[in-house]
A and B are shown apart, each in its own frame.
Chain A
Amino acid sequence: MAATVSEISRGLEAGEFSSVEITQEYLERIDKHNPTLNCFISVTGEIALEQAKTADTVRAEGNADRLTGIPLAHKDLFCTDGVRTSCASRILDNFIAPYDATVIEKFRAAGAVMLGKTNMDEFAMGSSNENSYYGHVANPWNISRVPGGSSGGSAAAVAAGLAPGATGTDTGGSIRQPAALCGVTGIKPTYGRVSRYGMIAYGSSLDQGGPFARSAEDCALLLQTMAGFDQRDSTSSEEAVPDFSATLGESIEGLRIGLPKEYFAEGLDGKIAGVIETAIDELRRLGAEICDISLPNTGLSIPTYYVIAMAECSSNLSRFDGVRFGYRCDNPVDLEDLYKRSRGEGFGAEVKRRIMIGTYALSAGYYDAYYLKAQQLRRLIKQDFQQAFSEVDLILGPTTPETAFSIGAKTDDPVSMYLQDIYTISLNLAGLPGMSLPVGFSDGLPVGMQLIGNYFDEARLLNTAFAYQQVSDWHLRVPEAFK
């Protein structure tokens, strides 16, 4: 079973099966494979079947839309009214969200079905999904490997066919990197394209929600529902949302694609470089014009990102205080003890590291040296992209410097983990859209190619990925154990 969102949508439309039947089928697959993969923190079977039943009624009444009755999984960072939203943290292990995130509300309104909430790195901080209070997620292509992070559960669920599509969030690569490592398609939209309301905040000037699916066609469909202005998100964009599906299939003849030399330099695995070269040749055959470009400040993106993300997280996560919701320590002696132990016991090690670095960077005497400096470099990084987009329509490179690494391989060295994000992180700093799509394998593990677009140019990204997927079938490959 490798059904895509689009195939399921057509099957439901043609009456080949009902939403209840297909939902049941996915729930059975989750039941069978989740003990191995640990993709889901919560499976919401009862809600799913109820929503599926409603969707079938809506369809019978002739009011179905394209996502009516489609089962999906949601990263456990989107608040879901009445359903635990843990952010993979002990501090929210008992948190039943009292409202829906805008993204969840939109999928509900579109008639989609929620299969469950997916595993992730705690508070979206991580690149391997090993920082979850609920244990790591296994990569369906090789269960001794990581699925990437932070949206590892969503990526692995789609790769293993436990959901045809899933939501994720991307603060420094958390959609694109796991998509690459699990061999699925994922898109991080322009900052502000998808509402952050009800998305538990990590780095507010970087966070952006987006979909995972098997194909660009499916991502277009899912992003259509997710995107749009939202009054409740103060940085939501009022830019009009085009019909992403309508432009799929347009020719990419003459499309100017730039290859940043910094993305093909030292540090990139040679086999990945080879796979990417082959994919570039395919795009050339489709009429794209390939040229070399430079993003000279690429090397600065990791230190810059970690200062900004950690500063923002130290502020955002101050709300978890053991007073109004979430975990509270036993027998606090006074209020300070309550704060300190609730947070100390509730947060995992990586979250504590990031809060402390952020606190340090924002503290008196260090603000200019760290936070202000990082914001200045952030502008230089953005200007690199603006310069590049005066010459090309799209930027292309590998999504990650290596394929899925072994579980435990990088857990002792936070810095080596951070370096995994070298190609993805600068987009978040610049606020640009990017997507990852599978373009081959290296030693049996998927290789992802990243496409970077100009502001609000998701339609072009999706169409370019779609064009490639019309002449390749990497995106349809399914790991043997999950066929």
Chain B
Amino acid sequence: MNKKEEINRQTEELFTENEWQSNRLLCIIMFGYALFLFIFMLSSYMGLISLTPGMMINACLIDAIIIMISSVYGFFFGNKGIHIKYLLMLVLIIGVNVTHFCLTVFSMFFLMGPIVISTKYYNRKFTLITAAANWVFLIAGCTANIILEKNFAAMRLFHRYQGIEIWGFPKDAIMYRLIPETVVMLILLIICLNISESGRRLVRRQAEIGYNALEMKNEIDTAVEIQESVIPEKKFITSGNEIQITAAMKPAREAAGDFYDYFMADENTLAIITADVSDKGLSAAMFMMSAINTLRFAIKTGKDIGQAFSEVNRVLAEDNPGCIFVTVWAGLIDIRTGVGKYANAGHTFPIIKHSDGEIEVLTNNPDTFIGVFDDFEINTHVFKLRKDDIIVLYTDGVTDSMNPAGETFGDRRLREVIKTTEGGTDELCDSIIRKTEEFSDNEHQFDDKTLLLARVNSDCKPDKYEWVYNVSDIDIEHVIDNTDLILNAVSCPDNVRRLIDTAIDEILGNITEYAYENGQGAIAVKIEAGHNYIEMSFRDKGLPFNPLKTAEPLFEDLLQIGGYGIYLVKTIADETNYIYENGENILTFIKVWRSQ
């Protein structure tokens, strides 16, 4: 059924409903009217008021009884057909005209009754017919009046008593009764027709609005359904307790934009993701689906987290006229070592609660969100989860939760909650949700709240080595050989190993040549290696020098001295660090890779 048909159908339903209600109203009015007549007549009968000659009383009484019976019937059986209203209205019209005939006091008011009541039906045809019937009976009553008066003196007496001396000639009757009443009826008819029409239009418009709202609601429900169908379970725990995950998603009414995900990228690598899409509704949900599927696929096929993000951006930016964008935080962590890499495209900074209670925020220089720009650059960073550490990923709906005073929950309160809550991922997740809900105190939230908490209890102890050499007789080849042995032992992929070897050559070449003026001095090399990472530190007691501060080479004259070595080290490493402490230059270098 198309939209117009659907709206028409709904409008018809509304009008049918209105019809039964109007019938009921009509019956109530008729009943009331009949009751009034009854009382009036009874008073007249008992001589309490002197209103009308005897036969008028009887006529009115009969009138009242008929109306009363019709109204009761109509009230209980009034929904049996659309013609009932004509019957009822006919009874009423006859009724008011009889009254008009018998009583002249405020009878014009009652005379107009039927037309006014017919407006409630929002049916121009019905109003017209009612008016026509009413006018016909008016004429009939007027005619009857004239005829009766001509032939019955009592009638003349009655009207004189009423103070109306106009029945001598038909002309006066026409002039002073019929014409004014007709004019009033006409004016009323025009007004009521107008009301009927605008009322009907209003109802139709109402149906349209209602239908659109329903469509929108369906769209949002579909978006939420799609979302719910692709996200993993809210709780996950491995049999050996190596991985513990708790997630929560509290969508706001209108939005369907957040997303969380976790999965094993390969046998040893856990992926954790939260994302937030900029738009609302079905198209945003579809966009998010596309982003997530591309990201999942890229990660599962062995790509580095940075490469995966680039792939997602390429796919989305290709066809995104609406400029919808997605912010994503995704990390890949080796569950054996607890060491991993993450990338952050415009998303919030996750918070790690260390086992000693310390709070660490994973800040990084902001990288732009995904989906819009063709020239997309993403940086990857190293993060470590030691035993009993918990990492908290969240979307900005959590920190943006607002209280009635207009304050936001904020990063500080979030860190506070994380710091002070005891327990594992379940307890912490519940605590954060509860605290944000308490804070917002029933204030309507405009943004989805999504949380993903993970704990990785890695079991392996990394291999550690330390060697000390004298700069004068250090054999760089030998250091590289030893490192190769270590890297092969942890199954480091060949090409990663080669890059690490290159970095070692650069660093040691540098220290050997420049650290000590007299060519004598110690270099200490410390290595820590696990299944997916190596962390090396190089210490010397030579001239204080921060090689990382070396300016980037100009690339114009590659034969220039200096710059290239350290530049290569920076491009190879995932993280480098330098400090000068206790008379020592300490340079650290970390590389993390996806184990095959």
Do the two chains belong together in a single complex?
A: no
A interface residues with partner B (beta carbon < 8 Å)? none
